[in-house]
Structure 1
Amino acid sequence: MMTAAAGCGGGSGGGSGDAKVKIGLLASLSGTYKAVGTDMRAGFELYLDTHGDKLGGREVDLSVADEGDGPPTAVPAATKLIKKDRVDVLTGIVGGGSYNAVLPMTKQRQIPLVGSNGRPEVKDVSNVWHTSYLSDEPGEAIAEYVKKKADGPVYAIGPDYQGGHDELRGFTTAFKKAGGELANPDGKTRWTPFPKTTNFTPYFSDIKKSGAKAVYCFYAGKAAIDFVKQYAQSDVADLPLYSAGFLTEGSTLDAQGKAAKDIYSVLNYAADLDNGPNRKFAADWTAKHGTPPTTYAMASYDAAAVLDKAVAAAGKDGGDVTSKTINEAIGKLGQIESPRGVWEFGDRTHAPVQKWYLRQVRPDGKKLANVMVQDLATLGD
């Protein structure tokens, strides 16, 4: 797989116009969300591996940089990709805070930003595209289901940073709109300091005192492992636990083990979805990594697929492949065949109009897996 650093030559912003297309991938390869960022990188690389190491018929210079845990590391990493490596497109980005911090650079240089994890709301999306989801959508998609299933008030809890705020706002707003009641004091989400919270025991005591009949949370990476293991051993272990799917996604589920059994989650992807693109993607991923694919890998794989189509369209009939022409081509792609099912970019948000699925952690052979239970909603624009 070609992962050479971007070579010399013309820069991004105006595009290089040479035979290669220069892609910068920014993801958390260290810190709390290392597992997420690692899967994002691997998903993009898998697409290249299975498509001749080319996008739109052109060879790829892929530069990868470590986002870390947020803006202090994400900004210098993105600066290198944009100003030194002079990439034509930037993709990836795990955290909402990182996204907001990097966005001004891509705007200034007019580089397409094809994000492939949760994204906060963005006012000007002229050069912004997204292949995963808006950060408030997972909670919005499952809120009505939780209202119907929970026998009373629900306790909402999540990490105190941009992504956590967006994720929990999506749930609490839709939950209250559906007639649900939060068990939290004053009806406000309980925030846990990020990234330093590793002991959740005091919060479980608060949940017990609240009289909650169920819990909804958003955690990912190492925090998800700590939360689930401690939840299973706490005084509230008998309360149903609902979450955004990242709580039990990928290697976190392996680390959680039996503690994760029966957790219900919502996500735009499940590894057992029965469609042609997913059968190929899941088989290719499993053959290379020995594990089921994750939504992080899928969305980054789709980012590469989007760029494959856009670069081909931009370079059709000898046209120049530049940041500008790639961006214009993305806007004309229409429906996209994907392992998650067919989706398309929304006109207003440039984020996917897509289905959301309810999953449950159940035995799948000898291992636990996130098994698709039912469709929940189609959201977008």
Structure 2
Amino acid sequence: MQRARAQLRHALAAVTATSLLAAGVACGSGAGDPDRVRIGLLVSLSGIYTSVGEDMRRGFQLYLDTHDGRLGGRDIDLVVADEGDGPATAVPAAQKLLERDRVVALTGLVGGATVDKVQTLTHERRIPLLGANARPEFAPVAGKPRDLSYTWHTSYNSDEPGIAIAAHIKTEVGDGTVYAIGPDYQGGWDELRGFTDTFTTLGGKLANPDGKTVFTPFPATENFLPYLNKAAETRPAAVYTFYAGGPAVAFVKQYRQSALKDVPLYAAGFLTEGSVLDAQGTAATGIRNVLNYSPTLPHAANQQFVAAWSAAGYPGQPTTFAMASYDAAAVLDRALAAVDGPVTGETLNTAIGQVGRIDSPRGDWQFHPTEHRPVQRWYLREVRPDGPVLSNVLLQDLTTLPTT
């Protein structure tokens, strides 16, 4: 414990020192040193998704720490900023990273609404955005498709978890119905749409009386029991949901207290990912969920990742949030090594497009050539004991997305 606290103090001190350096220098990346590169990491360090943001920061820092603080043979100045709960705090923070700190790449970003707004800023400045968590469907601007030439993600589209698990749930429930419920904001809309659209296309029927997902006020909802007991009146064969962070803890605990307690619960894997699983305890046992990562995957790269995570003194097991941020660092490592000469947003962006396959803890993946998100496997997991702790244990592969 003392070791972990010492490492945290060291990391915070390094971030503070880097931020002070960046604030006092008006020139470009690396304060004029061609062998130094300044990277911006924007994640939620306050608000409802703090645990997600902290894991993303740990993942990126772990890659740096296991590569002598260098990416592509260059020393890295990592400038960390707080995304908070969304665009209201994230956009000013992103503007500072881009305009004052002059980073040559921006990574992190917990929320889909944040990505949607920040993507406009990075594209205007020709700076690559390497997102490592939620990614929304980008709405057209003035009737034209969004230009994503400077937008990349090491994570997923937010509708993909539901798409990946829909066929499995349809097989499990047969002619039974599924009740869909989630939080009323961009992430919830995307996550639930992916499931309900795919499930109904496959012939599945929703238990929701009007055939539409029930969305709970976000982030205000703390008492889910009225919603859950109302859902039980529809007598569903199963329930599908997406929540993350603090709401995920409340939802799972109250689910086991509700009239739905004996109804199978399926979810996007964020419901039981990371520290929220520790807080949920045995109430989470048996929840089946879908994600692009499990700490029990047998890949050599994953075994090394899990061991390094433990050696660093980080809590629990590594999460998909940490893994995607770790992979963002790996992508930048490969890309920076390929840049010959000064690093600019444009030269780095070109190199990102040429990194090829990434040997990742989740398994090998590569960027889709036009959508700039991973072509990757999705896994069915179940919360069950793994030795002395509860874990999201791998059950089977589900599918590869995107398919085209």
- The TM-score range, normalised by the shorter chain, is over 0.9
Match of 1:292 in 2: 317
Aligned ranges 1:94-133 → 2 under 5 Å: 94-122=110-138, 123-133=146-156
Aligned ranges 1:207-286 → 2 under 5 Å: 207-286=231-310
Superposed CA offset, 1:317-362 (max 9, x none): xx22111111000101111110000000001210000000000001
In structure 2, distance between residues paired with 1:33 and 1:126: 28
Deviation at 1:131, TM superposition (A): 0.2
122, 130, 136: which one pairs with 2:159?
A: 136
90, 94, 99: which one pairs with 1:78?
A: 94
In structure 1, distance between residues paired with 2:169 and 2:109: 29
In structure 2, distance between residues paired with 1:287 and 1:149: 40
Residues 120 and 134 in structure 1, CA contact (< 8 A), matched pair in contact too = yes
Aligned ranges 1:151-190 → 2 under 5 Å: 151=174, 152-190=176-214
**Higher mean Cα deviation, 240-249 or 3-12?**
3-12
Match of 1:373 in 2: 395
Residues 135 and 158 in structure 2, CA contact (< 8 A), matched pair in contact too = yes
Residues 70 and 95 in structure 1, CA contact (< 8 A), matched pair in contact too = yes
In structure 1, distance between residues paired with 2:220 and 2:294: 30
- Whichever residue aligns with residue 245 of structure 2, its letter is G
Deviation at 1:121, TM superposition (A): 2.1
Secondary structure of the structure 2 residue equivalent to 1:206: helix
Secondary structure of the structure 2 residue equivalent to 1:186: coil
Aligned length: 376
Match of 1:346 in 2: 368
Residues 129 and 150 in structure 2, CA contact (< 8 A), matched pair in contact too = yes
5+ residue gaps in structure 2?
1-10, 139-145
- Whichever residue aligns with residue 96 of structure 2, its letter is K
Deviation at 1:246, TM superposition (A): 0.3
Match of 2:378 in 1: 356
In structure 2, distance between residues paired with 1:345 and 1:9: 34
Deviation at 1:19, TM superposition (A): 2.2
Match of 2:69 in 1: 53
- TM-score, normalization by structure 1: 0.96
Task: Name the % identity.
Answer: 59
Structure 2 residue 162 is the aligned partner of structure 1 residue 145 = no
Match of 2:6 in 1: none
5+ residue gaps in structure 1?
none
Residues 26 and 100 in structure 2, CA contact (< 8 A), matched pair in contact too = no
**Higher mean Cα deviation, 345-354 or 97-106?**
97-106
In structure 1, distance between residues paired with 2:121 and 2:401: 29
Residues 16 and 88 in structure 1, CA contact (< 8 A), matched pair in contact too = no
In structure 2, distance between residues paired with 1:17 and 1:59: 10
In structure 1, distance between residues paired with 2:129 and 2:394: 31
**Higher mean Cα deviation, 276-285 or 1-10?**
1-10
In structure 2, distance between residues paired with 1:143 and 1:218: 13
Structure 2 residue 356 is the aligned partner of structure 1 residue 334 = yes
Superposed CA offset, 1:160-211 (max 9, x none): 1111111111001110111110001211010011111111011112211112
- Whichever residue aligns with residue 175 of structure 1, its letter is F
Where do 4+ consecutive residues of structure 1 move more than 2 Å?
9-12, 15-19
Residues 217 and 244 in structure 1, CA contact (< 8 A), matched pair in contact too = yes
Secondary structure of the structure 2 residue equivalent to 1:302: helix
Residues 112 and 127 in structure 1, CA contact (< 8 A), matched pair in contact too = yes
